[in-house]
């Protein structure tokens, strides 16, 4: 079973995260931020990775700690579920349209964390979700899972659509990358990741 769970407690957030890479994308998400719930549900459903995410954060301050710390915990849970990262496809790339918007994500589960994020939003927020936190979430997620992640928002006008296209592009790239390969080998000339 490719499962990872993380409990993260700080003075700013209390987070419980569980992922099942083979769980068929069942999502149970409660972060206290409606639009973020929507995005994480899309990430779960479209990646095929079942996720349980429960967060109590200092939303009286703003959404920053809640979103960034969720990225940290989710990345750590993904890394735990992947273990040594042997027996997986490792790479994934996806282009996802959302009405007038188009996003691309390409990733490598390499143990060499990096983020390239080329996305611009017009407005400050969607509901209680600050759109600038999209980059912070994916940075935390990538660095704590050991993922090289490139995200490019090619175009779009509606910020809801743009953000959703980004999350779904990452989800589909991740679905490809975590898929088990045919012989259980490690896809690396080094023999390990």
Euclidean distance between CA atoms 77 and 95, whole angstroms: 25
How far apart, in whole angstroms, are the C-alpha atoms of residue 118 and residue 108?
17
| CA pair distance 118, 106, nearest whole angstrom | 12
Segment 96-113 shows an average pLDDT of 98
pLDDT computed for residue 139 by the predictor = 98
Structure confidence by residue, pLDDT tens digits, 109-136: 999 999 999 999 999 999 999 999 999 9
How much is the pTM?
0.96
Arithmetic mean of pLDDT, 50-70: 98
Q: Does 178 score more than 70 pLDDT?
A: yes
Write down the pLDDT at residue 183: 81
In the prediction, which pLDDT does 182 show? 80
Distances (CA, A) of 33 to 57, 66, 141: 10, 9, 18
What is the Cα–Cα distance from 143 to 77, expressed in whole angstroms? 12
């Amino acid at each position: 079973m490719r499962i990872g769970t993380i409990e993260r407690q700080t003075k700013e957030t209390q987070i419980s995260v569980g992922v099942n890479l083979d769980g068929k994308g069942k999502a149970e998400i409660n972060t206290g931020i409606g639009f973020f719930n929507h995005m994480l549900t899309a990430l779960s459903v479209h990646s095929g990775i079942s996720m349980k995410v429960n967060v109590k954060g200092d939303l009286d301050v703003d959404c920053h700690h809640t979103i960034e710390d969720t990225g940290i915990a989710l990345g750590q849970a993904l890394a735990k579920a992947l273990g040594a990262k042997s027996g997986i496809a490792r790479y994934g790339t996806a282009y996802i349209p959302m009405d007038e918007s188009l996003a691309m994500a390409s990733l490598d589960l390499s143990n060499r964390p990096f983020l390239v994020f080329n996305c611009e939003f017009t407005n400050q927020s969607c509901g209680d979700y600050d759109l600038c936190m999209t980059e912070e979430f994916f940075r935390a997620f990538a660095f704590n899972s050991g993922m090289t992640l490139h995200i490019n928002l090619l175009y779009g006008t509606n910020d809801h659509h743009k953000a959703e296209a980004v999350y779904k592009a990452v989800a589909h790239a991740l679905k490809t990358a975590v898929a088990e390969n045919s012989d259980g080998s490690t896809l690396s000339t080094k023999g390990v990741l």
